[in-house]
Structure 1
Amino acid sequence: MLHLQGSLFDDVEEIGTGPLDGARRTALGDGAWIDEQPGWLRGAGALFERLAAEVPWQAERRAMYERVVDVPRLLAFYGEDDFAAGPDALPHPALAAARTALGTHYADELGEPFATAGLCYYRDGRDSVAWHGDRLGRGDRQDTMIAIVSVGEPRPLLLRPRGGGPAVRRLLGHGDLLVMGGSCQRTWEHAVPKTTRPVGPRISIQYRPHGVR
């Protein structure tokens, strides 16, 4: 297991979420926006260690460019049935608590609860995710919302208009929250690029509503 060099700011035993009244919204254009709340999750270092050790991570292979390649990150997914089954079905109760807090805060805009949690484990700078929008299901034709909580060492998340253009860069880790809303999945793309610089491991937790992947 990769071990995390913890931040002095999240070196606490208690794992939990903070208030969301400090979330800062940035309009990206074309109806897309992002909200940011640095350090929203307390005890992010401890949660990283638990998730890294206890999640049943999967190494997947996918067809790409007429060949099958390794997905450059480890993956796990917790669906609606897992949340309905209770905390014992999840690797840590903080996943359910964060989902509830986010669903409550964004209830008026989202109009429904966050339903699933997808986890990505970026082990080092060789792990990445290419430019994409989460457009499988309703995200291809409707405004939607995806909330990302990052634990572990910071990695850049880049966003750019769909089809190319200047990128917006956000460095996410140590319990930071970023929410992509409005038309973001249809009109913008996001990526975590590879890097040759020494970087520590990071886990991102992506909360999505029903029917969005």
Structure 2
Amino acid sequence: MDAFEDPALGSLDGIQRTELSQGAWIDVLPRWLTGADQLYERLAADVPWHEERRRMYDRVVDVPRLLCFYGETDDLPMPILDEARDLLTEHYVDELGEPFRTAGLCFYRDGRDSVAWHGDRIGRGNREDTMVAILSVGEPRVLALRPRPGSASGPVSSTIRYPLGHGDLIVMGGSCQRTWEHAIPKASGRIGPRISIQFRPRGVR
């Protein structure tokens, strides 16, 4: 545990890329952030979390997690998140061609909170290659990825799973949002809370 360390970001030089299929890839770097437990405590207490309800087929249901979105002109809740966004931009700008600009936060309070299979295809992500970088703090939860149903198979075609928490970073790039899906499945047992911070370019949700 690193509860008494001040949050600090390491180098991105050790990030490891996995090529998926159809031009999709993921980069993973465990423990990019040290002092992640302290950051989790601050975000859990200070972020103005809210619940959402969404229409699913013929009814309106509660979204099973808490949310907060920071747009391009909004102040992020802690300076370390500005630093993370800037370092990600510096590392990926030649490949991405633009900076990361927004931050969406999700609070998974226990194993009952989840997010269903989806791609970030609202806006430009539906038609263009892009990147979504996710920094996780709190207890690990599995992020699962699979090829989008009906898409062609490639070098990796089955579901893959990454337990992310305690400062881990994953970046989904290339065609990942269009040709693959990702989810945080529900989990049984005593599952601790987790917060994810998703950095995105302009016009990608």
Give the TM-score taking structure 2 as reference length: 0.95
- Secondary structure (helix, strand or coil) at the match of 1:134 reads coil
Question: Deviations along 1:69-114, whole A, 9 cap, x unmatched?
Answer: 00000000001011xxxxxx32111111100000000011011110
Matched residue, 1:126: 112
Within 5 Å, which residues of 2 pair with 1:10-89? 10-82=2-74, 89=75
Answer yes or no: is 1:144 the counterpart of 2:137: no
Structure 2 residue runs of 5 or longer lacking an equivalent are 151-156
Q: What is the letter of the counterpart of residue 104 of structure 1? A: E
**Counterpart-to-counterpart distance in 2, 1:157 and 1:127:** 13
Matched residue, 2:96: 110
Q: What is the letter of the counterpart of residue 74 of structure 1? A: L
**Counterpart-to-counterpart distance in 2, 1:99 and 1:43:** 17
- Secondary structure (helix, strand or coil) at the match of 2:49 reads coil
Answer yes or no: is 1:209 the counterpart of 2:195: no
Determine if contact 1:23/1:35 at 8 Å carries over to the other structure.
yes
Answer yes or no: is 1:167 the counterpart of 2:159: yes
**Counterpart-to-counterpart distance in 2, 1:161 and 1:170:** 15
Deviation at 1:197, TM superposition (A): 1.9
Deviation at 1:125, TM superposition (A): 0.3
Determine if contact 1:73/1:122 at 8 Å carries over to the other structure.
yes
Question: Deviations along 1:119-141, whole A, 9 cap, x unmatched?
Answer: 00000000000000000000000
Of Structure 1 and Structure 2, which has the larger fraction of its residues in helix?
1
Q: What is the letter of the counterpart of residue 133 of structure 1? A: G
Determine if contact 1:73/1:120 at 8 Å carries over to the other structure.
yes
Matched residue, 1:100: 86
**Counterpart-to-counterpart distance in 2, 1:30 and 1:197:** 36
Answer yes or no: is 1:177 the counterpart of 2:204: no
Determine if contact 1:12/1:42 at 8 Å carries over to the other structure.
no
Structure 1 residue runs of 5 or longer lacking an equivalent are 1-6, 83-88
Q: What is the letter of the counterpart of residue 42 of structure 1? A: T
Deviation at 1:12, TM superposition (A): 3.9
Matched residue, 2:154: none
Segments of 4+ moved more than 4 angstroms: none
Matched residue, 2:153: none
Determine if contact 1:160/1:190 at 8 Å carries over to the other structure.
yes
Determine if contact 1:126/1:195 at 8 Å carries over to the other structure.
yes
Q: What is the letter of the counterpart of residue 26 of structure 1? A: T
Bigger Cα displacement from structure 2, 153-162 vs 165-174:
165-174
Q: What is the letter of the counterpart of residue 117 of structure 2? A: W
Determine if contact 1:151/1:204 at 8 Å carries over to the other structure.
yes
Determine if contact 1:116/1:209 at 8 Å carries over to the other structure.
yes
RMSD of aligned Cα (Å) = 1.0
**Counterpart-to-counterpart distance in 2, 1:95 and 1:61:** 27
Deviation at 1:11, TM superposition (A): 3.5
Percent identity reads: 69
